[in-house]
Chains A and B, each alone.
Chain A
Amino acid sequence: MRKSVNLIFAVHQPFRLRRYRFFDIGNDHYYYDDYANQNITEWLARKSYLPAASMLLRLLARHRGNFKLALFVSGTAVELFKKYAPPVIEAFKKLADTGNVEFMGGTWSNSPAALLNEEAFTDQVNRHKQLMETCFGQSPVSFFSPEMLYSDDIGEMIRRHGFRSVVVEGSAQVLGWRNADMLYGNAVSPTFKLLVTNRELGNDLTFRFAGDEWAGIRTHPGGFLMRFGSEGSEEQVVNVYSDLELMGVHQTAESGIFTFMESLIGEIADHNYLKFSTPYEAIQQYPPASILSVPNPVARNSGEAESSLPGGNELQREAMAKIFGMSRQFTANKESDVYEDWCRLQSTDHFLYMSSAYYEKDIPHRPNPFNTPHEAFINFMNIVADMKLRTGTGSS
């Protein structure tokens, strides 16, 4: 049997927050940095999303059913495109229309709600699902968790919301001695499948493509292709994950990433051992190799300091507790402006800006709009204080 290649791209942008001072609390209920949102969205669309989508569309047409991929697009990203870069929506719609692009489910604003509050999680998941249906005509069945947040319980919760599989980062913490290129089952509900990413492949593309050691591979993808697997092995599926910004931003057009991806995809499409599939197809083709137990929540780069989301420092924990503590207010009231703000404020990005790692160094692929984690925290909490006043639960 041929080994499946799942190419998974994610597109997420948060609503960037403006500098919200304490004297704005109770006086001004607009929280967003329109200038930054417009500029960043337009720039990303021009540099990455539009050229990448048009290339993918061309390749989908060229290779007919032999090229497939999965795409996760967050709700906040869609809203930003609607506002500032409508052609991106059109381009993604064309991808959806080919029938070979699976749109994945997730939380609307890429919210870490799964960690704290199932009510908020349900709300976010449903909102995203509806958006995918109305916008791209697909009802998602595979799940992409923000920062690949996962644990046995989170997996079970995702399953209860109607999904069949979830993407999990293939870190040593998750896998132990196991092979990433197999299909695994959730420890609570073994029929719920885990798509474990091949972290080396994804990270090499995202972070090391332009490096010197890649000089040969950039022009001859064959060497890279060998790492997807060789004939005769038992391996079932290789999940390669990257942000869509891989093409044009993480790696600039000048680096040759577009031509590289084009020839890599071409070689896989014509390969006699590898074949493209979507997550939904992959989980139907193979039985799970075993159960993978992840009792404590993990996230992308959990082992490294930069993403400390599941544990979090005191600022992150406090900010999350406060925002998710408001979920009661919105059980029955989803029409208000403040509900919209509440959803947007849940984007993981806002909590990651509070990571202590920013005290040590700059994180190049995730620039922090705030100078320090505590500025991010104060700004966020000021906004939360204003939202509480609006819902009638805060004190002035």
Chain B
Amino acid sequence: MRVLMFGWEFPPHISGGLGTACYGLTKGLSEFNDTEVIFVVPRAWGDELSREGMSLIGANQVPVAEEVISMGGQEPGLKYIGIRADIVPYLDPVQYRELRKIRSPENQHFVEINKDGTIVFSGLYGPSLFKEIRNYALVAIEVVSGEAFDVIHAHDWLAFPAGLAAKKASGKPLIVHVHATEFDRTGGNVSPAVYAIEREGMELADKVITVSNLTRNTVINRYGIPPEKVVTVYNAVEPLPDRPVKKVQRIPGLKTVTFMGRITLQKGPEYFIEAAHMILKKIPEVRFVMAGSGDMLNSAVGQAARLGITDRFHFTGFLENDEVLQLLDVTDVFVMPSVSEPFGIAPLEAMLAGVPVIVSRQSGVAEIVRYATKIDFWDTCALADAIFGLLQYDALAQMFSRHGAVEAGSLKWKHAAGMVRDLYLELTGSVHSTHKEEISGLPTVKNVS
């Protein structure tokens, strides 16, 4: 079984959710001897692969580069193809400025993306972005002609056109994987153009995978996709790296409550600040940390200043991998008050580190974890009360810490990958009869499998 996968980003060039999920999923798939993945991304910058110790084995004349990534498992694990499409995903305004400084390219388009690897809605999508997405799709057809595969798998809307093009060119079944929808990203202020691309991808795909039932409902209700076509495959979490991380000294008697993620509307930072204010009125010996950056950072700082809590409320900006682990190490309570979170891997990482977590019920991860406190994002009183309980009552924190680590540890990518693989098997057995009409008249590329 060979899988042609279209994504947006891949480690180490990840900004969070989407890249992490793609990596976990492909790694999980590589544990099955009979499954091979060819991963295609719009190439961003050339240094990314050497950083992970991946070796470049060849480059085409067409704007496509191939590499093989060792997943540490069976060979051949995964083939990685970066397309030199001129799209550069970036995380936040700070990173954007830095990139511009270093690279100052003439023909590159910078696209702001969020933690899920998807474009931040600014209301100002230029025609060039959509052109790039089309270019990506065109290159996909080039890839199709050079590769043998049985099934196509595209992650999120930027890759949907490429997946569809590959499907048209090859006649192979297509799975689109929804990690986030335009509704999650924009809080309802949906771009019709993005919505159209998402909807077309979901409609023409043979199966739609969603990362939670929350997202599945959105796909069914907002995009009109028949329920029987939409399957939920929950994300999982990679074990924490056991490389030594410099310990940060805990201050005795001082507890730390952490928010980690993009400071955007979708993540609900204002609810965290409001809850912090309530707590600090009651127990002063607590520190709140907001780690990350985003378009609401300035207003968040302003809010904390207005409430007069900035002496005990700290903004760290964007944190690198080791810094994340250091912060988790001194964190007593991890909070994710997202307004709309299709999944949310970060709380699982906190649980792995033994940190009690609070997540909003408006998150996919809330559907699968038992040992996490769940609140409605808008219920600041409940959030504050849950934080207070975890800070004050040791028995509670200990229970969550112990059971939470075990629970998160049981969520394995191999299991998620197994479900995805079952879908591949299902589709490759039935596609020729059901989708012949749709693909008739299109060129078909011969496959070796």
Contact = CB atoms under 8 A, between A and B. Distances in A.
B385 interface: yes
B135 interface: no
Contact of B393 (A21, A372, A381): A381
Contacts of B393: 318, 377-378, 381
Given A21-B385, A22-B384, A374 B282 contact: no
A375 B379 CA distance: 14
B370 interface: yes
Among the interface residues A317, A359, A371, A375, which one has the most CB atoms of the partner chain B within 10 A?
A375
A382 interface: yes
Contact of B385 (A313, A314, A372, A382): A382
B398 interface: yes
Given A381-B389, A381-B393, A23 B384 contact: yes
Interface string B384-397: 11101100111110
A261 interface: no
Is the interface on chain B under 10, 10 to 19, 20 to 34, or 35 or more residues?
20 to 34
Given A25-B282, A313-B399, A374-B396, A359 B389 contact: no
A308 to B, nearest CB: 13
A315 interface: yes
Contacts of A25: 282
Given A23-B278, A23-B282, A359-B370, A378 B395 contact: no
Interface in B359-381: 370-371, 373-374, 381
Contacts of A385: 392
B281 A23 contact: yes
Contacts of A21: 381, 384-385
A25 B389 CA distance: 12
B120 to A, nearest CB: 34
A100 B396 CA distance: 48
A259 to B, nearest CB: 44
Given A21-B384, A22-B384, A23-B282, A314 B389 contact: no
A382 to B, nearest CB: 7
Contacts of A381: 389, 392-393, 396
Contacts of A318: 393-396
Contacts of B282: 22-23, 25
Contacts of B392: 22, 381, 385
Given A314-B399, A315-B399, A374 B389 contact: yes
Among the interface residues B279, B385, B395, B400, which one has the most CB atoms of the partner chain A within 10 A?
B395
Interface of B: 278-279, 281-282, 370-371, 373-374, 381, 384-386, 388-389, 392-396, 398-400
20 contacts: A21-B385, A22-B282, A22-B389, A23-B278, A23-B381, A23-B384, A314-B398, A318-B393, A318-B395, A318-B396, A359-B371, A371-B374, A372-B374, A374-B396, A374-B399, A375-B373, A377-B396, A381-B389, A382-B385, A382-B388
Question: Which 7 residue pairs of A and B lie closest in terms of their CB atoms, listed nearest first?
Answer: A378-B389, A318-B395, A22-B388, A314-B395, A21-B385, A359-B370, A381-B393
